[in-house]
Amino acid sequence: MICFSPTQLLLKGGHVQGKQRRLTEERLPPYLSHKLWRKLLIELSAHNPPSRFDSSYFDTLKITKSCRSMLKGTLLFLDLMSADGIPTPRLHQLVKSDGEAQKAALAEMVRNAYEPLFTDLDVTRATQAQIREYFYSQGASGDIGRKCLSFFFAISADANISLSPHLRKSAPRGRGKKSAIGEMPKPRASKSADSGGSVEWEKMLLEKFPNFNPEWSDELKKKWFDAFKFLKKSLETSAPRRRASTYKR
């Protein structure tokens, strides 16, 4: 029987490019936590934006590398940072304002960043499925799509933008524990009566599965999701068979 490692499944049919695409190319809508967004906005309002967003700046904020990628993508998408990391006039206007003026600046920023959504839909009447379809068209699906929805709902509330009553306050969540920001949940190794190696085998297999990287190209992200679903389904279907064989003994 021929076996492929999770990495081989992920990269089958293509090769990982030596350099990641720039964040300005086909970037996803923001999907970081609203709490982290508020933390950055408060920091920028209190101490003014840096002359450039770079690693040393994020080091001072003690932000992890995976969150840095999401923050940079968010700043780019919202037109708050240029491709080379320079704060834009829109960001300076946002952090210098407060109260109703800041809400107005936020509203203008949101409508500008999500322009196709506001142009193609009446957001005061849209259903959640229609909003979700927009994010799917932008390459955001699954858990990342849910996070994109959550961020959009939260930042729209900050900006006093009226949304449809048909929309939930937050995107639907799957069962189980919440994963860390930017990380995808890995399938749990099923517990079977056969403890003589099957659980250890599953654990070793999961450890070899590569961690999700938000900076991957869309093509590589899709391959990761396909491989993840294949592995999860394989583990779920193999568990009952092992239990049945154990009972026969």
What global pTM score does this model have?
0.59
In this structure, the answer to whether residues 120 and 64 fall within a common structural domain is yes
Amino acid 200: pLDDT: 64
In this structure, the answer to whether residues 81 and 197 fall within a common structural domain is no
Tokens describing residue 238: 């193999």
In this structure, the answer to whether residues 117 and 193 fall within a common structural domain is no
In this structure, the answer to whether residues 101 and 214 fall within a common structural domain is no
Q: Is residue 8 part of a domain?
A: no
Domain stops at, among 158, 176, 198: 158
> Packing angle between helix 142-158 and helix 128-137, nearest 10 degrees?
120
CA atoms within 13 A on the CB side of 235: 22
In this structure, the answer to whether residues 200 and 107 fall within a common structural domain is no
Q: Is residue 222 part of a domain?
A: yes
Amino acid 65: pLDDT: 81
Residue 68, phi then psi, degrees to nearest 5: -60, -40
Q: Is residue 11 part of a domain?
A: no
Say how far apart CA 34 and CA 98 lie, in whole Å.
18
Q: Is residue 152 part of a domain?
A: yes
Amino acid 23: pLDDT: 36
Coil vs helix vs strand at 71: helix
Amino acid 231: pLDDT: 75
Q: Is residue 79 part of a domain?
A: yes
Cβ partners under 8 Å of residue 232, min gap 6: 187
In this structure, the answer to whether residues 39 and 90 fall within a common structural domain is yes
Amino acid 207: pLDDT: 65
Give the closest residue to 32 by CA, choosing from 63, 60, 56, 6.
Answer: 63
* DSSP assignment of 224-242: HHHHHHHHHHHHHHHHHHH
In this structure, the answer to whether residues 38 and 92 fall within a common structural domain is yes
pLDDT per residue of the chain (249 residues) written in tens, 0 to 9 = 445 555 554 444 443 343 343 333 347 899 989 999 999 999 999 988 999 999 899 888 888 887 888 899 999 999 999 999 999 999 999 999 999 999 999 999 999 999 999 999 999 999 989 999 999 998 888 889 999 999 999 999 999 999 999 886 544 444 444 443 334 444 454 444 444 455 566 666 666 667 766 666 667 777 777 777 777 777 766 655 555 555 555
* DSSP tag of 81: B
32-49 per-residue burial string, b: 16 or more CB within 10 A, e: under 16 = bbbebbeebbeebeeeeb
In this structure, the answer to whether residues 77 and 138 fall within a common structural domain is yes
User: In which domain, by residue range, is 78 found?
Assistant: 34-158
Q: Is residue 178 part of a domain?
A: no
Amino acid 198: pLDDT: 56
Domain stops at, among 158, 175, 204: 158
In this structure, the answer to whether residues 112 and 222 fall within a common structural domain is no
Alpha helices in the chain (DSSP H): 6-11, 34-47, 55-60, 65-77, 89-96, 99-113, 115-120, 128-137, 142-158, 198-208, 218-248
In this structure, the answer to whether residues 237 and 146 fall within a common structural domain is no
Q: Is residue 88 part of a domain?
A: yes
In this structure, the answer to whether residues 112 and 198 fall within a common structural domain is no
In this structure, the answer to whether residues 193 and 243 fall within a common structural domain is yes
Amino acid 5: pLDDT: 54
Contact status, residue 181 vs residue 32, Cβ threshold 8 Å: yes
Coil vs helix vs strand at 35: helix
Each as own residue / partner, the long-range contacts of residues 95-98 (CB below 8 Å, 24 or more positions apart, any chain) are 95/41, 95/44, 95/45, 95/48, 95/49, 96/45, 98/45
CA distances from 244 to 197, 203, 225 (A): 16, 20, 30
Domain stops at, among 121, 139, 158: 158
Instruction: State the total domains in the chain.
Output: 2
